Amino acid sequence: MLQSRHQFSPPSDNWCQVHFADSEVKVARASKQYIYDDLGNEYLDCVSSSAHVGHCHPHVVAASQTQMQKLWTTQGFLNDTYSLYMKKLMDVLPETLSVVYLVNSGSEANDLALRLGRLHSKREDVAIFESSYHGNISSLVDISSKSFKRLPQGKKDFVHVIPLPKCERIEDNIPENEQANQEKFCEDAKKVIEQAKKNGRPIGVLMSEIVISAAGLVVPPLGYYKALYHMIRDQGGICIADEVQTSLGRIGGEFWAFQGYGVVPDILTFGKSIGNGFPIAAVVTSRDIANSLPEYMNTYGGNPLACAIGKAVLEVMDNEKLMFSAKMVGKALLEGLRGLMKKHPSIGDVRGMGLCVGVEIVCGRPDMKPATNLANRILYLLKEEKVIVATQGEERNVIAMTPPLCFTLDNARRVVDAFDKAFTKANTNEESEPVRSNTSVLGLDNIPLNVMGGGEEIDPSSPAKKKRNIEDMD
Ligand code: PMP
């Protein structure tokens, strides 16, 4: 199975990577927040953000089956499903965001948003965050610092990188410091914006996530975006919010992450969640900005099947009150995991909003040196507990959880327990599970477990470091 995957997949990163490369999970089916392997094992799925309202939700499945039997055309015809979906979508969007382009992937959405932003601002230059990821299309590889760093051409001149609005030391990230932190982060951004202007390359577009998932779930201070958006707009730029990861109630309590920050972007993109795994994404903007683009064609975007599924997802969100559930369950998960920090000093930070939670694994506090190998080991130890998570961030030392929103309080307790067991095992150097393939689990024998209180990690060029698993959910 794994062999055929390797045989037919391209040599480049990511797509051909299999989750848990050394003891892969062959998924036979999935339901709600659970996935089942071919041996009948049930895993708690904490990573499938695109199964937003739950894997194979019966309402979504029924809507898609009914629509497929009725009408399944490409764009260009009128149909009721589209109108009904648009009406539902408008109900959850701010008034200014009134024009919708339906597309097929987050990358397509961000590419179009970028085009709109550049046309409207009449500028080429783009500001992004450090460690950002916005998609797999060439235009987005250019503005995703995580991607262009790996390529020979590196950063292009029209790209301006804003430092992450994140404290270096967890000790500084306390409520009393919030104002000072925010001022520092805004000052960092201001320097980048002003320098670009000085160099004759004023910024036309800010493309950013709001809760920055690609960088390991960075949650900026609450006043940050008001100041940042003001700075960008003040010098003639357009603000794009990439909510491919965070839309539709994922951050709990609010439908969109930008609402939590009291701003409205000029252009909003979202994907993943809206199709519950079916490829749908969207760009939403004002009529004024949309008028800047003279022509747009998309064969499959907004086809009746996509609209039927999108509408069904919004109905489930409403019927099952998933946004509020995400808030409550997310809070319990966050608090439970924070409760482990004292017992396990290698948990450097636990952060997030709603069901978007990250656990930063470090060599010890207060230094917060990334413990990439330990994070990887925890990933496998959690798998032994039948809990599936992913690693994120530049150093892949942040365990990220973005489960389906039907995640329950019981599930949250189970995750906290599993983390506790995993860290305890990692620190007592217990053996991991035997693997399916005949390779050793992650080459873990090579990993020194001196990760407490400022320990050192192994040489990054060692084979253990090179092994990569479920990571970079981008
Ligand atoms: N933006 C963000 C923040 C993402 O996380 C991703 C993918 N994970 C994308 C854009 C690209 O979306 P897609 O893979 O659907 O093209």
Query: Residue 239 pairs with which residues in a beta bridge?
Result: 206
Based on the fold, state whether residues 183 and 258 are members of the same structural domain. Answer: yes
pTM for this prediction: 0.88
User: What SS3 string covers 84-136?
Assistant: HHHHHHHHCCCCCCCEEEEECCHHHHHHHHHHHHHHHHCCCEEEEECCCCCCC
Tell me the CA–centroid distance for residue 281 and ligand 1, in Å.
Answer: 10
Mean pLDDT within 215-228:
95
Q: Please tell me the residue having the least CA distance from ligand 1 atom 5.
A: 474
The atom number, within ligand 1, closest to the CA of 474 reads 8
Ligand 1 near 255 CB (within 6 A): no
Domain end point (choices 319, 339, 373): 319
Ligand 1 near 472 CB (within 6 A): no
CA-wise closest residue to 82 among 281, 307, 314: 307
Choice from 132, 134, 217, 268 to test ligand 1 binding pocket (greatest atom count within 8 A of CB)? 134
Q: Which helix (H) or strand (E) holds 419?
A: helix 409-428
Ligand 1 near 110 CB (within 6 A): yes
Based on the fold, state whether residues 292 and 387 are members of the same structural domain. Answer: no
Tell me the CA–centroid distance for residue 260 and ligand 1, in Å.
Answer: 21
CA-wise closest residue to 156 among 133, 184, 128: 128
Rg of the chain over all Cα atoms, to the nearest angstrom: 22
Ligand 1 near 107 CB (within 6 A): yes
Choice from 217, 267, 272 to test ligand 1 binding pocket (greatest atom count within 8 A of CB)? 272
The atom number, within ligand 1, closest to the CA of 281 reads 15
Report if residue 244 sits inside a domain: yes
The atom number, within ligand 1, closest to the CA of 213 reads 3
Based on the fold, state whether residues 283 and 326 are members of the same structural domain. Answer: no
Based on the fold, state whether residues 179 and 279 are members of the same structural domain. Answer: yes
CA-wise closest residue to 386 among 69, 56, 43: 43
- CATH number, residue 24: 3.90.1150.10
- CATH number, residue 294: 3.40.640.10
The atom number, within ligand 1, closest to the CA of 137 reads 16
Least reliable range by pLDDT among 4-8, 425-429, 434-438: 434-438
Domain end point (choices 282, 298, 319): 319
Tell me the CA–centroid distance for residue 352 and ligand 1, in Å.
Answer: 18
Domain end point (choices 319, 352, 375): 319
Q: Please tell me the residue having the least CA distance from ligand 1 atom 10.
A: 134
349 and 170 Cβ atoms separated by less than 8 Å? yes
Report if residue 472 sits inside a domain: no
Report if residue 96 sits inside a domain: yes
pLDDT digits (tens, 9 = 90+) for 19-67: 777 677 888 999 999 999 999 999 999 999 999 999 999 999 999 999 9
Report if residue 208 sits inside a domain: yes
The atom number, within ligand 1, closest to the CA of 473 reads 8
Based on the fold, state whether residues 344 and 299 are members of the same structural domain. Answer: no
Report if residue 313 sits inside a domain: yes
- Segments forming the whole domain that contains residue 130: 58-319
Based on the fold, state whether residues 313 and 372 are members of the same structural domain. Answer: no
Report if residue 402 sits inside a domain: yes
Ligand 1 near 214 CB (within 6 A): yes
Report how far apart, in Å, the C-alpha atoms of 147 and of each of 42, 133, 215, 218, 233 are: 34, 7, 12, 18, 27
Cis peptide before 10 (omega within 30 of 0): no
Based on the fold, state whether residues 345 and 290 are members of the same structural domain. Answer: no
∠ CA 113-96-256, nearest 5°, is: 70
Tokens representing residue 36 in the block: 């089942």
pLDDT digits (tens, 9 = 90+) for 123-182: 999 999 999 999 999 999 999 999 999 899 899 999 999 999 998 777 777 788 888 999
Mean pLDDT within 241-258:
96
Ligand 1 near 209 CB (within 6 A): yes
Based on the fold, state whether residues 138 and 209 are members of the same structural domain. Answer: yes
124 and 452 Cβ atoms separated by less than 8 Å? no
Helix or strand or coil: residue 392? strand
Based on the fold, state whether residues 192 and 79 are members of the same structural domain. Answer: yes
Based on the fold, state whether residues 48 and 79 are members of the same structural domain. Answer: no
Domains: count for the chain = 2
Q: Report the first-to-last Cα separation within the chain, whole angstroms.
A: 24
Residues in contact with 125: Cβ distance below 8 Å, sequence separation at least 6, in sequence order: 158, 159, 160, 196, 201, 202, 203, 204, 205
Q: What is the DSSP string of 137-193?
A: SHHHHTT-HHHHTTSTT-S-TTEEEEPPS--SSGGG-SGGGHHHHHHHHHHHHHHHH
Residues in contact with 228: Cβ distance below 8 Å, sequence separation at least 6, in sequence order: 186, 189, 206, 239
**Residue 433 clears pLDDT 90, i.e. is over it:** no
Based on the fold, state whether residues 294 and 327 are members of the same structural domain. Answer: no
323 and 254 Cβ atoms separated by less than 8 Å? yes
Based on the fold, state whether residues 41 and 77 are members of the same structural domain. Answer: no
CA 210/CA 190 separation, integer angstroms: 18
Structure ipTM:
0.99
pLDDT digits (tens, 9 = 90+) for 381-408: 999 999 999 998 888 999 999 999 999 9
Q: Please tell me the residue having the least CA distance from ligand 1 atom 14.
A: 106
356 and 402 Cβ atoms separated by less than 8 Å? yes
The pLDDT, as a whole number, for residue 460 is 35
CA 346/CA 29 separation, integer angstroms: 34
Tell me the CA–centroid distance for residue 462 and ligand 1, in Å.
Answer: 30
Tell me the CA–centroid distance for residue 245 and ligand 1, in Å.
Answer: 7
**Residue 272 clears pLDDT 80, i.e. is over it:** yes
Ligand 1 near 105 CB (within 6 A): yes
